[in-house]
Amino acid sequence: MAIKYSATILKPNYLMTELDYNFDANNNEECAKIIYNFLQFTSTEQYLNEVPFPVKGGKLNKAYPELVFEPNKSIIMKGYIENSFNNNKDNVLVALKYCENNNIDVLVL
């Protein structure tokens, strides 16, 4: 039976900087696929996440001080998003953090 998830998607470099997305999935792997599909994101490689992200004291950390992607709870991928406005592929980094109560924090840079 599918589980109800809620994702908060932060996109600081885009016109619409924050949105909520609710969906049903069976597991975390399926969650990632659904979110990537929603974002029109194609992953090209996994970003090594051996230390907490974002870097403490950096611009991103100052803008979102409560947002931390810990290695054991997060997936960070490099790839691109199809930009339908100008038909380009925008290179991005997408980070997913699995939180309590089936909530997911998503950051698109």
**Per-residue pLDDT band at 2 (split at 50, 70, 90):** confident
**What value does the mean pLDDT of the chain take?**
84
| pLDDT > 70 fraction of the chain, expressed in percent and rounded | 95
Identify which has the larger pLDDT, 83 or 88.
88
- Who's near 98: CB < 8 A, 6+ residues apart? 28, 31, 73, 74, 104
pLDDT tens readout for residues 22-42: 999 998 889 999 999 999 999
Measured CA distances, 76 to 1, 9, 70 (Å): 27, 14, 10
The model carries a pTM of: 0.82
Helix or strand (DSSP H, E) at 67: none
